[in-house]
Every structure is written in C-alpha cells, then in structure tokens.
Amino acid sequence: MREEVLFTLDTPYRQPLAVRGWFFGAPGKKTLAVMGALRGNEIQQMYLCSQLIQHLAALEQSGALSEECGILVIPCANQFSMNVGRRFWAADNTDINRMFPGYDAGETTQRIAARIFEALQGYAYGIHVTSLYLPGSCLPHLRIMKTGYQAPETARDFGLPYIVLREPHPYDTTTLNYNWQIWNTETFSLYTPATDRVDAPAAQQGVEAVLRFLQQRGLCRCGAGAGEEARIFAEESLCSVKPTAGGLLVHKVTLGSQVWRSQPLAEVLDPCSGTVRQTLRAPVDGRVFFAHEACLINGYDVAMRILPDKAEEIHQN
C-alpha cells in the first residue's frame, strides 16, 4: 500500500485542499480506480472507501492481489464542504460531480474535477461510490450511464441484486460516470442506502461487491461468494409516487418491501392538526426501491419509487 497526495489546491478561505489516494498492487498498472465522496454529506461513501482500503491492504500483504493488478482508491475529494456540513462546495454551492471532465483554468470546482479526472485516467475499470440526487434511501445497486460504451453484463460480476441503466440527460454529461466512460474506462456507480450517516452493514456489502468483482475478473483471491443474480433494468421502469400536497410524511412500508397495487404506502399529514391530507398508494405490484427519508415533504416531491415486478429486464453483452 502506498499513500500519496494526488494534488493540492489553494482555497480562498481555508487551508489548502489536499486530495489523497491509496495505491495497491503493481506500480504502473492501471486496473481499477475507486472514487469516493465528491459531496460534503457523503459520509457513507467515504466510510465505504476507507473499509475497502483496509481490506485491500490485507489482501496485498497476504499476496492475494494479481501481479497484473493496480488499484487506486480516493476516499474523499471534498473535505472542505464535509467539515462545514454542506453537500455542495461551500463557497459557491456548486457540485463537483457536475463539473467533469473539468477545466484547469476555471472555477474552483472545475479545477478540482480536472485534477481528479487527470488522476483517474487510463484505468480499465472505474467505480464511483456515490449518492442519489434525490434525498432519501435506495436499495443497493449499480448504475450505468447509457453512453454507447456501457457494459451492464460485466456489472453482474459485482453480485449486487440490481443494475440500473440511465438514459443520460444533458446535465448528466458533466458527471464522472459519463465522462469516465467516454474516456474509455468501464465505469460503474455504486449506491448503498445511506449518505450522511454510516451504515456499516451496507458499506460491508459494497466492499464485498468490489472484492467479488476483482475476484471474478481474476485480479485477486479473496474468497468472495457468488453474490446475487442481478436484475438489469432501465431507470425509466421505476414508478415515482408523489404527493399533491406537502406535510408530514408517515411511512406505512419500509425500503425493500414487496407491495401490491393500491396498497397504502404512506400518509401525508397536516403538520399541526394531524389530519390526513393524502394517502399514497402503490401504482403497481413491485418493490420499494427508493424512499424519501425526511419527516417533511413538499407537494410533488418523490416520496417513493417502485420497481414493478413486471419491469422488462435488459440483456446486453
């Protein structure tokens, strides 16, 4: 294991930002790069990477990594926002993951993205441990942008239960996942249920998925089990459930629950009187894939997303 400061960037109001990376395996080999927290509330994502570093260090020490394997892990690139409790860059509220491939003469977050992207170039595989744009929790899954370079069948080697293919919107073209693929790295975004808190079992599941992928690719010997048979589906298959009025959100089912059409999922209450303003019901038979976590919800915010039982599965080599 080798720890290295990948780059240092001066910031206007605080000490310089030093982004560190941990290298494993054969020097000069670029097999797998793992990027962790780019946002200031991605505590779980940073924690998952820290635990991956511990496992990789042990595997390297025992000689379990292939001689052809070179791995880079960057647990966090936004300590500035993390330290002050802000999701986006605290000085101007911009999102580093909407700045790729970056611009080395641009604004601060553009320069950070450019330096990160430079460090991540040339790897065969890339994993971005990231969080949803929606506030809430989701089932563990891999997400891949449909750039024309995507490899969803390769993603089965992680052994996670779900693989989501996303049709990119214009704003997605500035994400790490999209640009990493365009620059010839097979890229997967890894999601676990938590964001701003540590969920140790979910983080362990994510670590095991990465190690399983390495083992399936013949890059390490770690005794990882076979995992689960993945269901690959398009993100458009998910059915969003939204209230027409805001209020207190009281869930009737939990994340991952099997639900049936018309089953009550949650109630929206008047915050003061407790009157039920709306009962949210399942639009289809399926499984709760995403659930809004905050106690308050606005009208037309996404309260839940249901993965239909009959959603078409995608097979692509």
Q: Are 301 and 247 in contact (CB under 8 A)?
A: no
Q: Is the pLDDT of residue 217 over 80?
A: yes
Q: Are 137 and 255 in contact (CB under 8 A)?
A: yes
φ/ψ (deg, to 5) at 240: -85, 140
Lowest mean pLDDT among 2-11, 21-30, 122-131, 221-230: 221-230
At CA 210, angle to CA 315 and CA 54, rounded to 5? 175
Q: DSSP state, 272?
A: T
Band the pLDDT of 312: cuts 50, 70, 90.
low
Q: Is the pLDDT of residue 313 over 90?
A: no
Q: Quote the crossing angle between the two packed helices 43-61 and 200-216, to the nearest 10°.
A: 50
pTM confidence score: 0.95
Which tokens in the block code for residue 297?
């919800």
Continuous segment of H or E residues that includes residue 35: strand 32-37
Average of per-residue pLDDT across 221-241: 92
Tell me what pLDDT residue 305 has: 98
Paired sense of beta strands 162-166 and 141-145, if any: parallel
Continuous segment of H or E residues that includes residue 119: helix 108-120
Which tokens in the block code for residue 70?
């070179």
Band the pLDDT of 310: cuts 50, 70, 90.
confident
Tell me what pLDDT residue 316 has: 52
Q: Are 49 and 98 in contact (CB under 8 A)?
A: no
Lowest mean pLDDT among 176-190, 216-230, 282-296: 216-230
Q: Is the pLDDT of residue 143 over 50?
A: yes
Stated length of the chain: 317
Cα 80 to Cα 83: distance, rounded to the nearest angstrom: 5
At 24-75, the pLDDT tens digits run 999 999 999 999 999 999 999 999 999 999 999 999 999 999 998 999 999 9
At CA 305, angle to CA 303 and CA 311, rounded to 5? 165
CA 297 to chain centre: 23
DSSP state string for 65-117: B-TT-EEEEEEES-HHHHHHT-SS-TTT---GGGSTT--TTS-HHHHHHHHHH
What are the chain's domains? 2-234 (3.40.630.10), 238-308 (2.40.50.100)
Q: Is the pLDDT of residue 199 over 60?
A: yes
Q: Is the pLDDT of residue 158 over 90?
A: yes
